[in-house]
Each structure stands twice: as structure tokens, then as C-alpha cells.
Structure 1
């Protein structure tokens, strides 16, 4: 854990302290999800509740909290080093989904603090360097606003969406149900980090709307109603949106979606996009069509473990998600695009098959796969982030050189793709080779500019400067620097001879931007310069000792001075290069999109061949075909875990296999895993991925809905049962015949009778009315009787055996209902006291009127079930004959005699169940 350095203490004189406190106390009130940080030059401070938050989350102790002021005017304060600040901000924005405001002073010594930067989970652009530096940005961003209205008496939802990172603006307007099922699907597809709502009551739908938003990891912010207005939206968008020719933004069809445009206006205002000229003419405006992707509700996304639920999850936990298994991407933009693909599975069979064709190429050609992964893609920079830096005029010569290197390698990349000989070469050329070569042509002038202006020899050594022959003054300075560098090399040889070391091996000459040139030796050689006045030690660490002699110190100072003058002299040239490079922003963005797609295809192909058992290409059928067949299906996340030998299973939906499957069996027997594996396989198939099974025929589904798991939402005031009912209500309103429904246990949160009644009614409605593909796992064994009443219902069970007195779970899904409950056996596995186990067996036997041995084999249990059915038939016959006796014509004694004869007939039976009933009666 980082600690506060002694030199970083908040030391203010009395006047400055009182002045700052007056300023701080006059700041407007803020929500607890916003944090204010004050930049004090070499360090940062946070105050009040923010200070207590930093002490708790960053330092895990209150000892770092100091008090400013006196008496009743005291304010808590915590000092943050630069490392503390970066760690704190990263946690606030990416993990906790808080907002951050950074204040700086305009005038030294005065308390004229102003907000310098703002950031929120949906807009990280101003803190990109702090959050990511030179590391990859894999997190996604985005802000939406929602505005409700009515149209022809129907509820209408308008959504405006802005992704600052991707320079994307979208509008979406649609009708919705009272449960906001379409909005819930949109939240999963877009994956925004923030949502804006108008302040105050939104009408009778307010509670339900906020309920839907609360199920997503969203920071919800209320803004003034006046901001949700499309009054100036056309004018604002005309400044932000990139247009071609004389196209007028106000005439575009997106502007007809008045509710969505009003919501978009609120996002633009919230992000203050118009306050930064670098945003002008940089955004792409488009209509978002909900129907072009498979719909997933929030419950389904969580149940299928598509992505980590927290950015703070460990890398090992991430591999337990579908994203973790499939993400073999080599580029930052590829990582983000693959997540978008998983959130937005396709429903157009032609587009899916195009992706499958491309994945098949990667799977079938090991040379191409290795070439892409090890040679080409891993060298591609984050082009989206680079484009943003160019638009903000924040790019450096190094950024321009990295783009140049990327473009320079593109012909080799296209050549590697062109070497492939096999099926789908036409698709490969259309999607990758042709667009990439066109982009190379578009960037040819850019390449020429960089080659003409940048000193390539210096760039290869990590120094990014303009060529000296580009300017007479630069040439003179370069000559001076070359001479100094030769002398510096001479000092290395001299020091090596003086210390009896080998130049460039045991003693090295190194440089960095902070120190300039210095010598370095290992700790083992340190004794050679100990107490040697000829050399001055700069520092010592585990990599060795860094030091100089007096001449190197002089030469380094001269070199640093010449270098600073060189950089100053070249500034005007660099500014001109940046201006020209800014004209290629759209081309760079397009290049990023093509390479991100290639990276995702590479990732899906690599995941298919790297699995313990290689994935296969599923055969897709048109929507409505009514067939979903998966042979020897596995779960992609479980099969990659250590010490797991996965047992595959089949899932057969169709006219013969039914469309509603009831799965019974013991806890921990694999029911939930089987349900999830089917959902994951269908989702993977419609993403375009290969899937973990032996063969597959999958009809396109338009929705995956889930009711899996149970847990009280205490913070939201929602019980387990209420959560079940809300999710199930959403399913019943959203599903159709082309939906896949996954229900794992339903009705456990209420009485047995109510729970069973609800489970039966819901199942019958899905099977008869909705006719969706449905997997329904339950412990209500009585529900299996539904198969006798509804033609499309089939019973399945996960197998287990209790042979030799121990419960053995076999994890195999077989046709038919489970013969019995294994709850007591599971309790034995949990090491319940034997007295409790025995009492449980006795009470269960009494309640179920069961007979036989709890540890009977599966065959014995089936035999016992038949004996019970035969016995119950004898009892029914006895009751029927007794009811047929002439009650009026026989005396009481004669009735007793006749009933006794009937009883003797039953007792004469050898049926074990009858004998069991008689024994229970005698007991």
C-alpha cells in the first residue's frame, strides 16, 4: 500500500488556512458519489467526507487524517502523493463508479481555486493519462439519458447516448412495456456507465424505471428538466457531428426522434462537449436499432457470466467469465470491441455466418494465426485513444511515430492474410485486405511527412526529434550533441579502464529523461567505487548503482542544455506536424475499427483451438425453424478450470424433443451448469464464435431471458421472492416463440403450495402460450406431471446414485423425471450431525409415506416406485368396492363383515407397499 511521504505535508500559514477553509465551506453541496481533489503542485489534498473516504479506502487507517482550522471550523484533510492520487482516482472512477473533480489555483498564494478537470465513469477522457498512462485502456465508457413520453396513448422511451472515447453519438426511441423490458435490453447492449434522468417525479412509471436502472451497474444522476430540451439540440449537434458535403444535421432522420434528441441534449450539456473545441466535427451520429441484436436482460447477462461484474476483479476471477475465456485479443481496441460483441449478439444469419467464415480461416490456418498474434496485432497501438489525442492537440511526436510504425506494417499484414489459400478468401479480402490497402493509400502522405521530418535513427533509440537537416539551427545543435555523445562514450571507456571493468558489459552507459547520461554497475561491483572521490553515486537500487564522474557530469549538463534548445527550436515544426496529422483523425478511426475486427476474429479463432477440446462451428438455422440441438455440450468457463474433468451433455429442442424441458435432480448435480451451458452456447453461436460441443444445429433466437439464483436485495428493499417474481414477470411479458428462457428454481421463497402453484402456472403458460425454448430446473417433482398434459413438455433429470451408503453425483442429464429427492444425502455431505440426519429421514418417511431403504440403488428405487403404484391401485379398488356396498340394505354387522372380507383380499396381496401401510398402522 502506498504511503504519504514526509515531505508531502499540508503546511499552510494561518491566513492561507483560513482563506482556504472559507473557500471550501462556500463550495456548493455535492452528492457523496462525487469527490473533490485539490492539486497543490507536488501533492494533492482531499477534505471533509472525501478525506475520510480516502483514509478508509486507500490507507485503511484514520491516522493519516489531519484537521485544518480550529474550534467548530475544523475540516478533515488527507494528503496524497502523486501515486496515491493516481491509485485513488482509478479506484473511484473504474471500480466505485464515482465522479471526480480536480481543482487548481489560478494564482499562487490566492484561494482562487477552479475546476481544472472533471471525470465520471462514462467520461474518462480528461483523466486518461492518469488512469492508463502507457498501459492499455480496456474499460468501456458511455453516458445515456432517458426521457419518457407518450405517443398515440402508448408509452415511449427516448434515449440519447454519447461515448466520448469512441466519438459516438446515438439516439434511440421505442415503445416499451410497464416493466421497461426494451430499455433493460438496451442497457445490456450499450453497457453505459452513467444514466441521466430529469429531476423530480417522472410520473407513475418512475419507480419501475428506477428499478430497472438499479439492476445495472449504473451511476444515476438527476439533472434539471430544462436540460432535457431539443430547443438548441440541432445547433449543438451541427457543431459536434462530422458531416460530409453540405449535409445539414437538422435535416437528418435522427432529429425526428424528438424524445431521444431531448435526452441527447442533456448528455451533451452534462459532458460539457461544447466547451472543448477539439470535439467539434468529431462525432458520428446514428440511429440505434434495438432489433439488430439479440436481447439480453440484466439477469441473463449475469447468469451467463458474460463479463466481470467489477473492474476490481482479479485476473483469475476474470477467466471465470465468457469474456475471460474468449478474450485472446492483442490490442486494447480489440479488447473493448470483443466485449461489445458479447453484449450485442447478432440476429442476422448472414452477418453471423460471415463472422463464422472468418473465424474458420483463423482456426484452419496455424501459420496465419501465429503470424497475426505474435507478429502483427501485438504491435498495433490504441488507435482510438491516439485519434482522441490528435483531436485534442495533445498528441506528441512519439504518438505520430507509433501511428507511422503501424501504417508501415500494414502491407506486411495484408501480405500475411493474402497467403491464406482455402475457403472464404473472398470474404477475407472484402472485410480486411481491401479496406486495409485503401487505408494505406489514404495515409501515404502522412507516411511521407513523418519520414521527411522525424529523425528515424533517434526514434529507434527512443528519442523523438525533428531531423537536424530540416533546419540550419537544428543541424548545428545536432552536430554539437553528436560531439558531446562521442565524448560521453569516451568517458565510458575511461571509467571502465579506471575501475578494471569491461565497457558495455560490467559497466554500462545509460540515459533517461530525468537524469540524462550516467554509468551503471551491478551491486556486486559496487565496492569498486566505494569511497572513491572520482565518482559521485546518484542512487542505488536492486538493478545496481548509478553514478557519474565529474567530466560526465559536465558533458551531461551540456548535452541536456543542447537537447532542451533543440526541442524548443523544433516546437514550431512539431506544431505544424500535429496540425496536419489532425486531418487524418477519421482515417485513423476507420483503421482502428478494421484492426479491432481482425483482432476479435483472431481471438475467437484462438479460443476455439486453445480449449481443452477444440470448439466446433455450429450450423445456424433461420429464426422460427424450431430446432436447437447441441450434442456433448460443455461449459466453456468450467472446462478450463484446473482439476476439472467435464462431463458433457446433450440438449435437443424440436418437434420430437419438445420445447419445454423440466430438469429435476439433486442439488449440486449439475442442473444450473447445464442450463447456463445451453444459454452460453447459443449466445456464442450468435456472436459468431465456435462453441464447445461435438455438433450443433441452432435456430436464431431473438432473446435470452433468465431467472437464475436467489438472493435478497437488501439495499433495494427487495426480497428473494419479490426478486423472483419481478424477473419472472419480465420473462412472461418479453418472451415469444423465438426466445430462449432459462429458469433455475422458482417459488422457493414462499410456501410449498404457493410456490408449486406458481411454478405450474408459469410453466404451463410458457409451454402453451409463449411456446419458447425453455429449460426449467426445479425441486418440485410434482411439476413433472405437466409432461402428461402438455405435448411440448419433456422431463429430464441429472443422475446420481446412493450405492454403498454414499451419494455419488454423476452429472449426466438423462430423459425422464428424477425418482426421489436427495436432500438428506446432500445434508450428509455437509457433515450434519448423525442424530439430525436420522431424525430427518424418519420425518421425511412419515410425510412422504415412503417405504424401503434410503440407500437403495437407482434400479431398486424404480422397482419400489412400481410397487407403490400397484399398491395404490389395490387401495383404490378397495375403496371403490367399499363405496359400492348397499349401505341402506345391510345392517351394521353385515357391513362390518363385508368390509372385513374386502380388507382380507387386500391383506392377502404380496405387494410390499401394502405391507408397509399395514406396519405403519400397527406402529
Structure 2
């Protein structure tokens, strides 16, 4: 191998420690990349790939980005799921012996970004760790480095539960052991689209003992240590803003599996993958970024505890009724910046003076916020006001130290107020008076030389100088001026007196800037000691913001406060919260929903496009809204607190895992059947449509019966198998309902009204007509339908096995009797011989074959 230059040897040594990251290697005013990093970065960042000599041998691929604009390039790589190691010079090049010493000062990963322009305001940016233990349990630890949050969940019921839990959180990166089985790693990386990182060391750092005071399980400690060690390794700095780890007791929250969250579009839509059109989009009337993030967390974990739900509803009710006070409250909240992330940046050390001014202005609103909350005549709202503790000491510190409009940079001065520091005032006085002396010197020199164009200027290379145009050089007295620089049309001079003043001024300016920087760091460190206060304040403000948002959206959309009951769910004129907002014209048709112990399964029939799926989804969304503490879209609601919601709605292939629509449908149905309880809600839409008619109807009926006989969950089951409506006669807890439609002059009119009983027909051909299929095709389909309807239809099987399930299969012990030859077989054979298949369409041939088969069976 050809010998490399010392610099490239240094690069390769550092790169070996960060093989899975782009190494941004600092060279002067650029971050440079080499070898594969250069080739890949040039492609991902669309920058020019060049080459440089690395010693004796072939040129080395190279590309680079300017230091001052590196943040934008780093953001692009992070958004694509890559990691970036920042390698800086850690000694002065002027004093370095040989190659300047360099070290990685930070590893930026998708889950550890702190820069504001890389974070979405209303979303958490979670990094998680996953640990597997010998008893079969898993522990997931969540951390949002930008806010300092730490949460831990213990999962004891298998890998599928882990996948569902991880899917439901906005995780950008997951830290695992290198021993985790390969198939599990592939699912995490490909199916969930999470960046993988590895950390095998789980020794606990005693420095962070206070974060684990409530962790009394060794598994939780090891799992938390895995993530903590990784964050320390990548960030290489103090993590003073990390909050105490909170254990998530999953059984205290309504469980939503990955299918339900996707199908119900709680936080993003399936197709566009955006917030618009989701339930979050409708409900988010928060005024702060903190509130928006908390709302999203509440949506992902609805409550099961009725007392906690009622406490939220009581506050929402108070805000709802106090319109004027709520309006004032919203105005105040709009002035509050992101306290959570400001606290994180203070601890992280990347906060600037403008950030601290934002902090000051936010904290100055707290007394007014408290007073406004006290105006509501509700003890629960007044308790929120009591919990708002204004950190006046921080306000006083910032108000007395920082100017109101500081520059972005903290290393160029002009950020500290006059009067805050005596030494700084002295330096500023010297600088100010020195510049005044120079102005007076310029005036004096003009008078003495009679050169009106004479001026005293300054630049960083030559310092202060007296400039005289060449046309006036003859007016200068001899021996008084020392030539400094010659220009095309002028000469620049210096005098001993000016040189002396220059030294005083520049020394005062330099020392002033250095002192301002040190003072700013001191101010930041003082505030860092109060980060827990700021985080508590942020939590209370976020809660206030979410609940006032619930009141705001409830008033705007005419939502009603729900009541919670034990068994009989009853919703009067319920509406779909998202669709009614999308329609905007008030044309959404509301419907009642009623489920109790005697009728806990609703079998829904009706035309496609008539609103069956909408009806089902609106029940689930209404239940979730109620269990997060929001009013619900209806005229009146008695709701049940569901422990789980399962949905099988919509058709979608899972291309990543190679599963067809029908397989996905069966997996989702099986997940519901395997995990639901009698306190769960199950929504199953058009089960069995992905296979043949007989297979599909058999599966659909068996699933309905299994839920009815074994699970007893509240269930909405929509189907296009109208034959299943006869199950109402054999299943006592099942009730038929249908979506009303009428036929008018050959066209179907969807009324979107839910009525008792079964639908009389499916109107499928009418829907095809609405889709503008060709008229000859529609006419042919109508003729075929009439022919098929005149013949026998498949019927549900009512024979029961001993287990109470359907007997779909022939008993192997029973002998099958040989059937006699049909009497009309000769006629069928003659008809078959006379057919001219080459003149028949495939559909005509199929119809004739069906007719002949039917005759043979007679």
C-alpha cells in the first residue's frame, strides 16, 4: 500500500472509530470528506466530487462543504437517516508541532439532533433503546434529547407487542445490542424505517443516579444505561437537562396497535403521510409548540382511568364556558416560546443571547397567565394556576444582564447591558473615549494642515491611519508623519500619538469582547441550575395549552361533553370529526350508534361508497377523543372506556414484508381476535373480500361467530356478503343495520343514513356507473347479475359443531357415497359438442359452462 501523508493517516485513524457515519474533517474553512464518504456525500448532497493526492499512489476521492454553511448539509444527511461525526481542530495551528490535533467533538444522529432547524416544532424527536432479557421480556427506553424527557416501557408479551409499541411512537433512531437476532434487526430497520445504532455496554454511570430513583427493576436499569451510555458517547458533553426516567405503565392507557393507528389516521394520513386530514389536524388548536407535542402524546396514549379523564373534561368544560377568559389565555400563550427546548439548549451549551431573551419574555408572561386562570370559577383550573411557579430570579438576571436586541453571535460583543459588570464598563469607556479622541484628532489635523479631505480610518490589517490624497501631500509638515501604506491616489500615515491610542482602543475592544463572552457563559450556567424549574413550568403550560385547545375546537365544531357508563354505549347524531371538517359545507349526515350487552355486534350492510367505513371510524375516533379528555362530535354521548381498539379497515399490500392485501387483512383480524377482551372495540370492514366468494363468506361468518361466542367485545362488522344478515336469527347479540340508499331513475342516491335491518341490495353496478364505466359494460353486467340472481345463492351454514363453531369441513370418518349419473347427461354432452367456442367471448363461455354444470347437478 502506498504511503499516506500524515494528515491522511490521522483521518483514517479517526474514521476507523466512526465507520457508520460521515466524518466531517475540519480543514481550514471547510469540512472535508474522503474515500467512500466523499463518493456517497457527493451523491446525497449533490456536490462536486474531486480528488487530492494522499502521498504516493492513486488520488483520493474528496469533497467538502464550507464550515459556515455546514448545518444545512448536515440536516440533509440526518433527514435521510445518516449520522455525521464532527471532527474539529483541538489545538492552535500556529503552535502545533506536525499535524494539527483533531478530535470528534460530537456525533449527530437522527435521534440526537439539537439544532432548531433540524427539529419539527410540534413533534418529539425520540431516540430509543431496546433491550431483550432471558425471561423473554423487552424494555424500551425513550429519550428526546431536545427536551430531556426519559420514558421506559416494560413489555412481557412478545416481539409483536414490541413492534406495535415502537410503531406508535415518532422514533428516529434505536439503540440495540449487537446480539439482537438479525431478523429482528431487519424488521426494525426496514419495516419501521428506524436508523439502527449499537451499544453493548450497560454499566450504569453513577453520575446520573438521580434520574433512576424510581427504577427498582434491574432490567429497567440496564436498559436505561444502554441508552444513556450511547448518548454520552455521541454527544461528549454534560447532559444536565435530562429528566427523571418515568415508567410507562402500558395497562393504564388504551392500547392502539400499529394497524389501528394507521387505519384511523390519528396523527398522519396513510397516503400523503402528513398531518393534514388526520385527527391531530382537527384537534390541534394549541398556541405553543410544547402544547402541540403534548397533544400528540395524548393521542398516542388515551387514558383508561375515568377519574383522570373526568379531571381533564372538567377543565375543558371550564375553558369552554369562559369564552372571554379563554380568548385572553390564548393570546398570552402565543407569547410563550418553547420552554422545553430552550432548557435543553441551555444545558447543551448551544443557546445564544437571542434564545435567552425569548426565555425572559416567556417567563414574564407567567404572572399574567396565572391571573387569567384565577378568573375561571373552577377549582381544577385554579389548581393549574397554583402550579405555575414564576422563576422571578431568572427574569431578573436576564433583564439586568442582556440587551433587548442582541446579535446572533455570542463571540462578537454587544450582548451585555451597561452597568452589569464594572470591568466591562471600564473597557467600553476606554473604547468610547478613544474613538472620541480620534474624531477630535481628525478635526485638529484638518485645521493644522488645511487639508479638508484628510481623514482618519481603520482596518484590521494596518489599524488606525491618517489618509491624505496625493494632490495634498505638499501641505504635510516634514517629519511629523510616518508613511504606513501607499495607495493609487493617496498615502496613509501613522503618528506615535495615534499609535499609542490605537493600542489602548484595540486592547479595550478585544478585552471587552472576551469578557462579554465569559459573562454570557456565566449567565447561562446560572440558569442551567434552574432547568428542573423550567421543565416543570413547561409541562404545566403545555397541559393548559392542550386543554384550552380542546375547548376551542369543541366550541368551534359544536362538540359535546361525553358521559362515561359501564355497559351501554349510546351516541346521538354522531359525526366523523375529520370528514365533516374536510367537507366544510355542513352536508355531513350524522348517525346514532348504540351498543350494549344484549346487542354488542352490529352487522353493517349497504352499498360501497355509502359510508359504512366512515360510520365505523367515527365511533373509534369519538371513543379516543373522549378518553384523551376532549368533547366529542355528537349531540349527546354515553361512552364506554375501551381498553383496546382493533381495526381492519381499508386495503393495502405490505410490500416490505411481501404480504398481499388478503394476508394483511387476515393478520390484522387475527391480531384483534387473539388480543381483544370484552372491554375492547373491534372494527372489521369487508373481511374476506381478498379471496373467493365461498372462502371469504366462510371466514367472515366464522370470525363473527367467534367474537360473538368467545370474546364478547363491542364490534362493528361491515360486509358485502348480504347472506350473513341471516346470522341475526342465530346469534342473539348480533343486530343488523344498513346504510340507506335509494334508486331513482336508474341511478343510486346515497343517503348516508344508518337504519335498522339489512340492506336489500348492494348497488355495486350503480357504483360502477358513477365511476363512468362504459355503458355497454354496465348493461352486460346488469344482465349477468339478473341471471345469477335467478339461480341459487350461497347461503350461510347454520350447522354447529360440538365446540360451537361452524363445521366447514367434511368429517374424514364419514364415507362419501358415489353419486348416480344424472339423467340429463346426454343432453348436456350434446350441447357441449354443438358449442362453437371460437365465436364466444370468455364471459359467454363461462356462462354456458355454468349452465351446463348446473344441469348436470339436477
TM-score by length of 2: 0.75
Deviations 1:319-377 (A, max 9, x none): 21111111122222112111111111111111111111111222222222221222x11
Structure-2 residue corresponding to 1:346: 303
Deviations 1:456-491 (A, max 9, x none): 6989xx99633423444433455578889999xxxx
- Residues in 2 aligned to 1:57 and 1:274: alpha-carbon distance in whole angstroms: 23
Superposition deviation, residue 434 in structure 1: 0.7
Tell me if the contact between 2:294 and 2:543 (Cα under 8 Å) persists in the aligned partners: yes
Structure-1 residue corresponding to 2:631: 690
Structure-1 residue corresponding to 2:176: 197
Structure-1 residue corresponding to 2:382: 429
Shift of the 646–630 alpha-carbon distance from structure 1 to 2, 3 Å rule, reads: farther
- Residues in 2 aligned to 1:313 and 1:47: alpha-carbon distance in whole angstroms: 37
Structure-1 residue corresponding to 2:143: 162
- Residues in 2 aligned to 1:635 and 1:484: alpha-carbon distance in whole angstroms: 73
Tell me if the contact between 2:14 and 2:103 (Cα under 8 Å) persists in the aligned partners: no
- Which one of the candidate residues 300, 323, 329 is aligned to 2:260? 300
- Which one of the candidate residues 413, 425, 429 is aligned to 2:369? 413
Tell me if the contact between 1:196 and 1:223 (Cα under 8 Å) persists in the aligned partners: yes
Shift of the 292–748 alpha-carbon distance from structure 1 to 2, 3 Å rule, reads: same
* Alignment coverage as a number of residue pairs: 727
Shift of the 561–377 alpha-carbon distance from structure 1 to 2, 3 Å rule, reads: farther
Superposition deviation, residue 696 in structure 1: 0.8
- Residues in 1 aligned to 2:760 and 2:433: alpha-carbon distance in whole angstroms: 91
Deviations 1:802-849 (A, max 9, x none): 311223222222222221122222222222222322222222332332
Structure 2 residue runs without a partner (length 5+): 438-503, 793-822, 824-850
Structure-2 residue corresponding to 1:544: none
Superposition deviation, residue 301 in structure 1: 0.8
SS of the aligned residue for 2:137 comes to strand
Shift of the 658–388 alpha-carbon distance from structure 1 to 2, 3 Å rule, reads: same
Tell me if the contact between 2:264 and 2:617 (Cα under 8 Å) persists in the aligned partners: yes
Structure-2 residue corresponding to 1:475: 425
Structure-2 residue corresponding to 1:499: none
Deviations 1:262-283 (A, max 9, x none): 3333222322369745225843
Tell me if the contact between 1:42 and 1:81 (Cα under 8 Å) persists in the aligned partners: yes
Tell me if the contact between 1:627 and 1:699 (Cα under 8 Å) persists in the aligned partners: yes
Superposition deviation, residue 37 in structure 1: 4.2
Deviations 1:99-137 (A, max 9, x none): 333344557695976433222232223xx14525xxx73
- Residues in 2 aligned to 1:212 and 1:64: alpha-carbon distance in whole angstroms: 34
Q: Report matched runs for 1:847-862 at 5 Å.
A: 847-849=788-790
Tell me if the contact between 2:15 and 2:23 (Cα under 8 Å) persists in the aligned partners: no
Q: Report matched runs for 1:39-58 at 5 Å.
A: 39-40=26-27, 42-44=29-31
- Which one of the candidate residues 268, 273, 276 is aligned to 2:228? 268
- Which one of the candidate residues 231, 238, 262 is aligned to 1:278? 238
Structure-2 residue corresponding to 1:218: 194
SS of the aligned residue for 1:794 comes to strand
- Residues in 2 aligned to 1:840 and 1:80: alpha-carbon distance in whole angstroms: 64
Structure-2 residue corresponding to 1:450: 398
Shift of the 473–253 alpha-carbon distance from structure 1 to 2, 3 Å rule, reads: closer
Q: Report matched runs for 1:333-412 at 5 Å.
A: 333-374=290-331, 376-412=332-368
Superposition deviation, residue 213 in structure 1: 8.0
Shift of the 469–219 alpha-carbon distance from structure 1 to 2, 3 Å rule, reads: closer
Deviations 1:491-544 (A, max 9, x none): xxxxxxxxxxxxxxxxxxxxxxxxxxxxxxxxxxxxxxxxxxxxxxxxxxxxxx
SS of the aligned residue for 1:278 comes to coil
Shift of the 647–53 alpha-carbon distance from structure 1 to 2, 3 Å rule, reads: farther
Tell me if the contact between 1:628 and 1:651 (Cα under 8 Å) persists in the aligned partners: no
Tell me if the contact between 2:335 and 2:365 (Cα under 8 Å) persists in the aligned partners: no
- Residues in 1 aligned to 2:506 and 2:210: alpha-carbon distance in whole angstroms: 43
Q: Does 2:75 correspond to 1:90?
A: yes
- Residues in 2 aligned to 1:321 and 1:264: alpha-carbon distance in whole angstroms: 33
Q: Does 2:210 correspond to 1:242?
A: yes
Superposition deviation, residue 601 in structure 1: 1.2
SS of the aligned residue for 1:299 comes to helix
Deviates more, 1:337-346 or 1:821-830: 821-830
Tell me if the contact between 2:736 and 2:756 (Cα under 8 Å) persists in the aligned partners: yes
Deviations 1:291-313 (A, max 9, x none): 11111101111111111269x97
Shift of the 429–710 alpha-carbon distance from structure 1 to 2, 3 Å rule, reads: same
Structure-2 residue corresponding to 1:794: 735
Shift of the 89–743 alpha-carbon distance from structure 1 to 2, 3 Å rule, reads: farther
- Residues in 2 aligned to 1:838 and 1:559: alpha-carbon distance in whole angstroms: 96
Shift of the 640–31 alpha-carbon distance from structure 1 to 2, 3 Å rule, reads: farther
Structure-1 residue corresponding to 2:525: 579
Tell me if the contact between 1:658 and 1:794 (Cα under 8 Å) persists in the aligned partners: yes
Q: Report matched runs for 1:661-700 at 5 Å.
A: 661-700=602-641
Tell me if the contact between 1:328 and 1:604 (Cα under 8 Å) persists in the aligned partners: yes
- Residues in 2 aligned to 1:779 and 1:76: alpha-carbon distance in whole angstroms: 62
Deviates more, 1:665-674 or 1:271-280: 271-280
Q: Report matched runs for 1:466-615 at 5 Å.
A: 466-478=416-428, 565-610=511-556, 613-615=557-559
Deviates more, 1:407-416 or 1:590-599: 407-416
- Residues in 2 aligned to 1:560 and 1:824: alpha-carbon distance in whole angstroms: 88
Q: Does 2:76 correspond to 1:100?
A: no
Q: Does 2:781 correspond to 1:840?
A: yes
- Residues in 1 aligned to 2:753 and 2:99: alpha-carbon distance in whole angstroms: 74
Tell me if the contact between 2:105 and 2:236 (Cα under 8 Å) persists in the aligned partners: no
Superposition deviation, residue 158 in structure 1: 2.8
- Residues in 1 aligned to 2:301 and 2:124: alpha-carbon distance in whole angstroms: 14
Tell me if the contact between 1:141 and 1:193 (Cα under 8 Å) persists in the aligned partners: yes
Superposition deviation, residue 31 in structure 1: 8.4
Shift of the 371–751 alpha-carbon distance from structure 1 to 2, 3 Å rule, reads: same
SS of the aligned residue for 2:210 comes to coil
- Residues in 2 aligned to 1:783 and 1:815: alpha-carbon distance in whole angstroms: 15
Shift of the 464–341 alpha-carbon distance from structure 1 to 2, 3 Å rule, reads: farther
Structure-2 residue corresponding to 1:290: 250
Superposition deviation, residue 80 in structure 1: 4.3
Deviations 1:853-908 (A, max 9, x none): xxxxxxxxxxxxxxxxxxxxxxxxxxxxxxxxxxxxxxx9xxxxxxxxxxxxxxxx
Superposition deviation, residue 738 in structure 1: 0.8
Tell me if the contact between 1:239 and 1:281 (Cα under 8 Å) persists in the aligned partners: no
Tell me if the contact between 1:631 and 1:650 (Cα under 8 Å) persists in the aligned partners: yes
SS of the aligned residue for 1:412 comes to helix
- Residues in 1 aligned to 2:214 and 2:752: alpha-carbon distance in whole angstroms: 54
Deviations 1:209-242 (A, max 9, x none): 9658865453344554xx3x5xx33xx1x31243
Q: Does 2:757 correspond to 1:816?
A: yes
SS of the aligned residue for 2:683 comes to strand
Shift of the 646–25 alpha-carbon distance from structure 1 to 2, 3 Å rule, reads: farther
SS of the aligned residue for 2:581 comes to coil
Structure-2 residue corresponding to 1:897: none
SS of the aligned residue for 1:828 comes to helix
- Which one of the candidate residues 645, 658, 665 is aligned to 1:704? 645
Q: Does 2:562 correspond to 1:618?
A: yes
Structure-1 residue corresponding to 2:108: 119
Q: Does 2:721 correspond to 1:780?
A: yes
Tell me if the contact between 1:161 and 1:169 (Cα under 8 Å) persists in the aligned partners: yes
Deviations 1:597-635 (A, max 9, x none): 11111221222223xx421111123xxx12222222222
User: Which structure has more helix as a fraction of its residues?
Assistant: 1
- Residues in 2 aligned to 1:559 and 1:707: alpha-carbon distance in whole angstroms: 76
